[in-house]
Structures are given as structure tokens and as C-alpha cells.
Structure 1
């Protein structure tokens, strides 16, 4: 709330006394908490029945699809409670945000310390590392294959994105990560984390780091123990990111192209299910790789049945499409070279020609006819 908004509100409703923020690192399983909010069923603020903390862990956030620390509690909360404070002894220790609809009183809140740490970075997102990798638990046959000695363990990094944050730091595919900042990692990826007083997934160490912070890890690589020290490096964007601003798109030659995001998949409804199943959990194989799809085929293109062509653009003239910026630049370059037509290649060996010679004329017609303000993302494509 802006100062002028607060002043106007207080002039009509009286002085606002802010709640004190607690220290969520001091929360423990079994602690009693309660929540406030505006759930379904009424217009006024509502207090939930007191609940008990049952679990503190690193898990997937439904909205962002990223893994962060969360707290599970048996609070009586419903739709509308999201964004409301969760209190312990009168202090805010978290923010309610999601639950399991098919269960009874399984709800989660964001630890207030996580909120505190991320709020100053809303306009400095580049300082959040966002490392992407795949880590696999170690089991006896896998340990035997990698010739680990008795007592050696950790997690197998079975995929490290080339030139991504972990790769730039020095980690490689098939490294066995067994220590991070002095914390020993067990075969399931857990460490004993003193601030929380319990075992937690090792990723919590990364989540508390910022780009440029010191980091020390130990790995087993080719049977040898290596220690890697340095500064946390910036990561790469996801293959299918979650965006909170404008989408990356452009329209040309009667075709509308958009870069696939989690928001886009949700907006596509049932037709987005195939994209969710195929791409949502995947990692980019190259830096800044994204999924570009044909989202619209205008009648002016001249195609009666369009649904089969509304899919990913894999190649243009046999060149792999890296992202929407790359596709747009390739089309513009080919136009300048005098190319009259190009061929888009879609999954299933489907081909779709694009007439570059008539594209500009068709673009003007479509822009005017449908009242389109911008034929591409205003301000340029976001990385």
C-alpha cells in the first residue's frame, strides 16, 4: 500500500497498527498457528480455527512450479485465505497460499523469512540464482556402479544444463554431490540444517543464496573427491517459464507465434494439456532455449482446417528454432536476403510454408482488420 493510500484509509477507518513479523526459522513441527483472511462465505475478515504445524519441507509451489521451503499446517482454510497472515503468538510467521483440495485440512503457508528475503529482489530478479539440474537419490546398485566406498553417498547430478548456473560454477553431469557448505548430504538429498533444527532437502542452501554469494561443495567425479569453491553464478531461464508480465509473441504472414509459458498452457485449457505433459517438467538443452508454438492461424492465411498446425515450431528451413527471438530474427534476415518463401517444420514431419514476399502486405491487412495494436511484443522480447 502506498503512503497516500494508507493515509486515505486511516482517515476513514482509524489508525492502522501493523502486525509484528516473527522468525519463521524458529517454527517447529507441533507448534500451534492460526490464520486470518477473507475466505468464501462472507465479506468480513475471518479467523481460522487454530492448527498445528505437521511438516516443514522444500516442495513444489503450485503457481510457480518451483521448489521452495513451505510449511504444512492443519489450519481450517479455504479459497480466499491465500495472501492472509499466519500467526504464532501474535506474530506473523507466514503467508497462506495453497492447499490440497482433495483432503481435509492440509494447507500450506510461505515462511515469512522467505518473503522477507525475496521482497527486496522484486526489481532485482537477476540476483536469484534459479539453478536448474536434475538430482537423483543414490541406492545400492547405483552406488556399486559408480564404485563408491562404504559410507560414501550423496545425490547423483544426472543432468547439468550446459553453460547454466551449476555448469558455470563447475558442476558436471554424473557428479555425486555429497557436501554443501559443510553440510553432509545423505543418499536422499537431505542435510541437517541448524537454522531449522531438522533435516531438509539440500536445495534450501541454494535457495538462501544470491548471485555472487560464496559457495563450497564437494563432489565425487570419476571416483575422485573434488572440492569446488567459488561464487554463486546466475542461472538460465526455464524451458517453460512462469511469467508475470507481457508474453513474447509476433504475427507475420497470417500466423501468430508465441513463446510457451506456464500461463499460456493454463490459458489454452484442454488443448494445453499436451504441452503440459510434454514440456512443463523439461529442462532446456541449450542456453535460452524455449518452446515456440503457432497460437493463431488467421483466415487470411488461407487454411480451412487449422487445428493440426497449432503446435510447436521445431525448425525453419531445417534450422532448429531456439526461441522466439531467434525465429523472428531468422525470418527478418531471410526477407532482407530476398527469400520469397520459407518452410516451417512442426512435430510429426508436418510442414507449413510462410510467404515472405506477401507477408508485409498481409500484416497490414490483419493489423487493420482486427485492430491489433502491436504485431510483436511491445518493447522487445523478454529473455
Structure 2
């Protein structure tokens, strides 16, 4: 018997490993999504119904963690556990588009029977071996691929344009993997969310790592999403020796130059233009704008801010006119609070106003996206693209208000080709935001409405003729309202 004694621990080990594997596998779900998006080129209506699928993982509290981009704009959700046939109806509990994460709920308690949720692991390191679980294209069964973490650095999250920490993997991630868990040693260490789309790149995928996931879960612990903080400033690298000398930096000082502080920035009153930002919470900022977040690893200085919750603070060391100044900065604003043109929005009605068949709209990335999806930069109007990429808000410009479309009618003859013009004035009033345009039309006096764009082009419409035409035009084009819901309270005349 003694010669067989070694078999029992081996069998026990095999059984234990199989149990762990089964627990991981059983927590992975396939998500079926029916969705409908707003039409930003015809902002009074929705697009048709479409469908897609993704992956998710059951976590503590009987919730399913997945990507925001998997479930955004949904009208109906179903989920199915790995190895099961039955689908269960689900709803979105919480969603954060900036971090591309969402939590789903299933009200039927049978869905969670026999499931032991997997816990979270540690922030991944380079060379970690990980396993990606999900339901990619090419089959209906669970797929498991092995990979290695090859990079840990800031990356642009495609879904909402956020610049956050991410981990690069060489595991194969394809459509359908999104939202699926990445496991290491039986723990969740990330959520698959995008891949590198360039044709010359092979097997380059990315996962949302633990710091972003933990921030999201901590943020929504009170059932309210506050978001990820940001400074609301523009910074410039200080890699040129003459620049550093001009701003009175010593040979051992490194940092970045603050060259703009935007309206609504939490830094107003705390920082100044031409301050040199040297440290965040005693971490040195290099001249290239990076900090050492782990020994031998560097990333964008915003990583420290992005670990904080809204209304927490950071301590900054700045060089101001040659003097060291310590600043305790409260982080009161979330990512993208200071953009002139918003990144792509979800579950959000376009902001529009129609008068005399002229359709005015606040420019958003969604409008540009209609010019070819992810390839919109090849086809969208150059002037609008420039504002999206390079525009910044000011006291005199909070929105880009444009003439998005002209609904042809006798009242607007001669103006049918006037589209995508950026409006600067209406009836002599400067247009800072779409609300100003509506007020200028509805409170204007005189016989004519006069609209001017930034090039000086003018549209002149007879006021009485416009008022008589509004109801007719809306009925002709099957439009239920002359404005988006946000501006209903400004409506002096209901058509």
C-alpha cells in the first residue's frame, strides 16, 4: 500500500484544480443586447433596432461586471451562463462610459443558484500570465485564451475617449470578448475591452486593470456615479533646456508647464498659467509628464489623480515665478468637464432646435461619427474636425452651435445648401451655447430673423412667415417637436 500513497495528494490536487476551473468558468456569462441609437443627423428620431453580444462576469452582490460599450443604448438585455441554455432578462444597474464599465442585475434569483463569485486580484505586472474568458465571434461556446501582460501604460479608451491606465496582452481578443474577465491565479485581474485594430498588429488586446475597476466599484458604492477626477488644465512638456531655464527651474527640478486653465476647471483659484507642476503627492513629475507609479515603471502623471474619488484632494508642488508653492487642490470635476466638443455620448438625446426648417444642433462627436463611424475623420467637415480635436472652451464659447440641416420649404428657399456652418450671432446676440440661440430667436424683435456664421455669411428670414411655417414644416417631415427635451422649458410657442 505504501507505494500508492503518493496517488492520494495528486488526486486531491487534480480535484481542487478542476473545482477552481469550474468556478471561474461558471461565473462567465454571455450578454445579448438589443439597442437603438440616437440619430445625430436627424436629431428628432432614433435609428433602427440592432443587436450585438458581449461577455461578462458574476461578482459579489449578485451583479454582472461588463463593459459599458457592450450594453450602451440598450432596449433589451439577456444573459446566459456558460454551459447553460436558458437566457435571463437583465437590466443595467450602473454604468460609467468614461471607464467603460457597467454592472448588470438579474432579478430572477435562479440565475445565481450554485454560483460562487470570483474575487479580485492585484494590479497586473509585466510578464504576468493571464487567461481571457469570453464569447468571441466564431462560435457560441466559452472561449479561453492564454496570454502575457506585455505593457502597462495609459491608453485611450475608444468608447468615450478617456485616457486611463490599461494593460496590453498578447492573448487573442476579438468581437464578443468585450466585457469578459481576465483571470490570474483564480482571481479577476481585468476586463477585456478593446484590441489594436491596425492590420499590421497581431494579437494585441487590452484589458481594464484593477485600479480602474476598483475606482468604479468604490465610486458607485452609494448608488451614485461621480466619475473620475481631472484637473481641467492644459500642460506642456519641459524637455527643452531653454524652456526650463526661462521658467527658473534648477538643474535637479523636473516638471510640466501649465499653459491653460479652462473654464469650470477645479484648478481655478489654485493654479496659475505659467506655473511649473513639479510634484503630485511627493511624487516627482518628469519633464515628459510621467511619474513612477511602480519601481521601474512610468506612466502619465494623471494616474495619481485618477486614483482619487471626486471631492478628494491632492497636494501639488509648483514653481511659481521661481518660488516653490504648495497647493492643496480639491478634485471637484470629472473627466471631460472642460471639453468644447464632447466625446461620443450614449443614452443622450442630441441638443437641437428647429425654426423655419433650419435645424440647429450643438456639435458632439456623435454628429461627426455619422460620417463613417470610426473612420469619421476621413469624411467629416474639416472645420468641425479641427474644433473637435483642437478647440477648447472659453467664457465666450461653451458649445459649437451649427446649422446641421435645412428642411426644404418655401420659407427657406436659397438656404438649402447652408449646412455645417458654425453660428456666431442670431438677431445681434452672440451665441455661446444652444440655449442662447433659442432665446435670441424667441425674444427677438423686428420684421426679420438674421443669422450669421463665423465667416460672416447671413441667413435672413421674415419673422411672420417663419412663425406661420413652423407647424407646417414639422408636420411635413413627421417631426413631433421643434426642440430637444432639454429645452422644453424655453418653449414660448408650442407647435
TM-score, with length taken from structure 1: 0.87
Shifted more, 359-368 versus 72-81: the winner is 359-368
Deviation at 1:185, TM superposition (A): 0.8
What RMSD over aligned residues (CA atoms) do the two structures have, in Å? 2.6
Unmatched 5+ stretches in structure 1: none
- Residues 165 and 247 (structure 1), Cα distance of their counterparts in 2 relative to 1, 3 Å cut: same
- Aligned position for 2:449: 342
- Aligned position for 1:92: 188
Unmatched 5+ stretches in structure 2: 1-89, 92-104, 490-495
- Aligned position for 1:202: 301
Deviations for 1:170-199, whole angstroms, at most 9, x for unmatched residues? 1121211001111111111122225x8732
- Aligned position for 1:292: 401
Out of 261, 265, 268, the residue aligned to residue 160 of structure 1 is 261
Tell me whether 1:111 sits opposite 2:206 in the alignment.
Answer: no
The 8 Å contact of residues 164 and 287 in structure 1, kept in 2 or not, is answered as no
Secondary structure of residue in 2 paired with 1:101: coil
Tell me whether 1:33 sits opposite 2:136 in the alignment.
Answer: no
Out of 382, 385, 409, the residue aligned to residue 276 of structure 1 is 385
Secondary structure of residue in 2 paired with 1:276: helix
**Mapping of 1:348-363 within 5 angstroms?**
348-363=455-470
**Mapping of 1:71-220 within 5 angstroms?**
71-102=167-198, 103-119=201-217, 121=219, 124-126=224-226, 128-139=228-239, 140-168=241-269, 170-194=270-294, 198-220=297-319
Secondary structure of residue in 1 paired with 2:380: helix
Tell me whether 1:21 sits opposite 2:115 in the alignment.
Answer: no
Measure, in 1, the Cα distance between the counterparts of 2:396 and 2:182.
Answer: 40
Deviations for 1:262-313, whole angstroms, at most 9, x for unmatched residues? 1221023355252234323432123871111111101124335634433221
Measure, in 2, the Cα distance between the counterparts of 1:74 and 1:381.
Answer: 51
Measure, in 2, the Cα distance between the counterparts of 1:295 and 1:162.
Answer: 26
- Residues 381 and 215 (structure 1), Cα distance of their counterparts in 2 relative to 1, 3 Å cut: farther
- Aligned position for 1:229: 328
Deviations for 1:121-161, whole angstroms, at most 9, x for unmatched residues? 56744554343222111121211222322112200111211
Secondary structure of residue in 2 paired with 1:36: strand
Deviation at 1:119, TM superposition (A): 4.5
- Residues 339 and 268 (structure 1), Cα distance of their counterparts in 2 relative to 1, 3 Å cut: farther
Measure, in 2, the Cα distance between the counterparts of 1:125 and 1:311.
Answer: 36
Deviation at 1:342, TM superposition (A): 2.7
The 8 Å contact of residues 266 and 330 in structure 2, kept in 1 or not, is answered as no
Out of 260, 265, 268, the residue aligned to residue 368 of structure 2 is 265
- Residues 343 and 229 (structure 1), Cα distance of their counterparts in 2 relative to 1, 3 Å cut: same
- Residues 356 and 172 (structure 1), Cα distance of their counterparts in 2 relative to 1, 3 Å cut: farther
Secondary structure of residue in 1 paired with 2:464: coil
Measure, in 2, the Cα distance between the counterparts of 1:355 and 1:124.
Answer: 48
- Aligned position for 1:250: 353
Tell me whether 1:70 sits opposite 2:170 in the alignment.
Answer: no
The 8 Å contact of residues 156 and 162 in structure 2, kept in 1 or not, is answered as yes
- Residues 316 and 380 (structure 1), Cα distance of their counterparts in 2 relative to 1, 3 Å cut: closer
- Aligned position for 1:240: 341
Deviations for 1:219-238, whole angstroms, at most 9, x for unmatched residues? 11222211111422326342
- Aligned position for 1:7: 109
The 8 Å contact of residues 427 and 441 in structure 2, kept in 1 or not, is answered as no
- Aligned position for 2:56: none
- Aligned position for 1:377: 484
Measure, in 2, the Cα distance between the counterparts of 1:358 and 1:82.
Answer: 53
Deviation at 1:212, TM superposition (A): 1.8
Measure, in 1, the Cα distance between the counterparts of 2:437 and 2:219.
Answer: 31
- Residues 141 and 303 (structure 1), Cα distance of their counterparts in 2 relative to 1, 3 Å cut: farther
The 8 Å contact of residues 262 and 280 in structure 1, kept in 2 or not, is answered as no
- Residues 355 and 279 (structure 1), Cα distance of their counterparts in 2 relative to 1, 3 Å cut: farther
Deviation at 1:116, TM superposition (A): 3.1
The 8 Å contact of residues 263 and 338 in structure 2, kept in 1 or not, is answered as no
